[in-house]
Amino acid sequence: MTHVAHPFIQRVGIVKDWRSRWFSVNPKLFRENLRADNKVRDFLAKRLKGMYIAGTDIEMGNKVMRIIIRTSRPGLIIGRGGDGAQKLRKDVDQLLRTLKLSEKLDIKIDIEEVRSPESSAAIVGQMIVEGLEKRMPFRRVMKQTIEKVMANRDVEGVRVILSGRLGGADMSRTEELKRGRIPLQTLRADIDFARERALLPYGILGVKVWIYRGQVFADRRTKGDEQTDRGGKGEGARRESADRGGYRAPASRAPRSAQ
């Protein structure tokens, strides 16, 4: 039987990179880093809720933890004069102290701006959740969001699924809306996926978003091949031109001997 796999983990090492980049040979240190990674992610998910976070990457090196936060609204996190970022760094440092790690980690936070939020599945999911929690009709929220996403040039397909007590109905059901195409079985396809939850008085609504942003091709040509493709003057290029009906320079003849 087939199993539904996460689109991100299928493409790690192909078109995606790991979201946690660290390693340790010591088993004890590895357990501590794993626990710190999970705690920091849970803390940031609660602390930065509603700030349109596209993703969080964590890198750990020699007693240094670097947190990369990608958001479409960096001003909400940085704050006036950088006060928000400094307070967030202190809160993360205080959280790590409660874990009683064997090595103290120096916290560094980098905030990156997402130029096109409509091409990020996490941000699109948060937009849908925000509309549902404002008691807007779910069909209108889905249609308006999909129209905004498809208006982006980078997006070639989008799929949204809502599940739960839609519209306050007694029985839960699932609604789906799709535009374009979502090639899940193509590993070089750049597909972003996210899950979100909308908290409503009559229950929790689940939101799933897939966004297809085209295929990723690696340029594996060597410099010599590039020069040939750009019209190099090698013998192979002249021979190919002659075969296609182009002009071929006559071969040089040996001079006749004087009689």
Q: What is the pLDDT of residues 48-99, one digit of tens each?
A: 998 999 999 999 988 899 999 999 999 999 988 889 999 999 999 999 999 9
What is residue 213's three-state secondary structure?
A: strand
Confidence of residue 102 (pLDDT cuts 50, 70, 90): confident
- 118-215 shares the fold of 19-115: no
Residue 253 in this model has a pLDDT that exceeds 80? no
Closest CA to 57 of 108, 91, 105, 15: 108
Q: Where are the beta strands (DSSP E) in 74-233?
A: 106-113, 157-164, 173-180, 189-200, 203-215
Listed by start position, the domains of the chain span 19-115, 118-215
Closest CA to 73 of 108, 109, 45, 115: 115
Closest CA to 169 of 215, 207, 123, 200: 200
Kind of pairing between the strands at 173-180 and 157-164: antiparallel
Q: Summarize pLDDT for 104-141 with one digit per residue, the tens.
A: 889 999 999 999 999 999 999 999 999 999 999 999 99
Domain 118-215 has CATH 3.30.1140.32: yes
Please tell me the pTM assigned to this model: 0.79
List, in sequence order, the alpha helices (H) in 134-248: 138-150, 223-229, 235-243
Note the CATH architecture for domain 19-115.
2-Layer Sandwich (3.30)
Residue 254 in this model has a pLDDT that exceeds 90? no
Residue 232 in this model has a pLDDT that exceeds 50? no
Share of the chain above pLDDT 90, in %: 70
Cβ contact 218:199 at 8 Å: no
- Identify the weakest region by mean pLDDT among 132-136, 178-182, 231-235: 231-235
pLDDT at residue 91, rounded to an integer: 95
> Residue range 34-57: average pLDDT?
94
